Amino acid sequence: MVPTSFQPFFTASAGAAAALIGLLFVAVSVRPEAVFGETARSGNTLVASASFTALLNAFFVSLGALIPGVNLGTFVIVVSPIALLNSLVLGIDALRRPRADREPGRVIEVQPVGLVLVALALYGYELINAVALLRTPHDVSWVYNVTGTLLGVYVYGVLRTWQLLGGRRRGVLSLVVPWIQRSPVRGEAAIAPATRAPGDTAPRTGA
């Protein structure tokens, strides 16, 4: 059972997750054809689904923790496998994306890595804590672990939502993980110098 001292955290978490899910719906409803339309890029659909899965996971875990006298592990052990399976399916879909539908300018496609590894690590750790809560329901340390995992799920969901909105992946994160920045088109650097004359500052577009 969840100690009463955790009730404010899960109350705030459930409210925050509900608000973020609503904002995600609003963001998608502005241009639904760009995310779920017939001409939408599959990358947008994958990112939107990953964001929705993360926020929905945080919402139901937090909501379940507010029910008096119920073991938190019961809710987590139901929600986490669903999120794990959904993330795995999204990762497989990302690997099967047609080359023409991938983000232009990328030499290496890292989207499947982000969807599978990060998501599986978060939801997998959440599931481990759920099993531990079912075995030792009075051990508060497992509840602390779940709350920490929820914070990670929030970060993952918000970053995916930011990516869906077209936010540039720069700043501290791009310094720590440089491969998330856009890579130059293969061969672009080799072509540009060859089209310039000595002392010329602009590339020539001649015949």
User: pLDDT (tens digit, 9 = 90+) per residue, 84-133?
Assistant: 998 888 878 777 765 545 555 443 344 556 667 888 899 999 999 999 99
Structure tokens at 201: 């500052």
Give the C-alpha separation, 160 to 141, whole Å. 29
**Sign (positive or negative) of CA dihedral 57, 58, 60, 65:** positive
Q: Is the pLDDT of residue 150 over 90?
A: yes
* Residue that wins the pLDDT comparison between 172 and 30: 30
Mean of per-residue pLDDT scores for the chain: 74
Give the C-alpha separation, 92 to 161, whole Å. 20
* Rg, the chain, Cα only: 22
Q: Contact at 8 Å (CB) between 146 and 9?
A: no
Give the C-alpha separation, 177 to 171, whole Å. 10
**For residue 55, what pLDDT is reported?**
92
Q: Is the pLDDT of residue 181 over 50?
A: no
Closest CA to 87 of 116, 113, 112: 116
Q: Is the pLDDT of residue 199 over 70?
A: no
Give the C-alpha separation, 70 to 60, whole Å. 14
Range among 103-112, 114-123, 147-156, 166-175 with highest mean pLDDT value: 147-156
Q: Contact at 8 Å (CB) between 74 and 146?
A: no
Closest CA to 24 of 191, 119, 157, 181: 157
**For residue 123, what pLDDT is reported?**
93
Give the C-alpha separation, 138 to 71, whole Å. 9
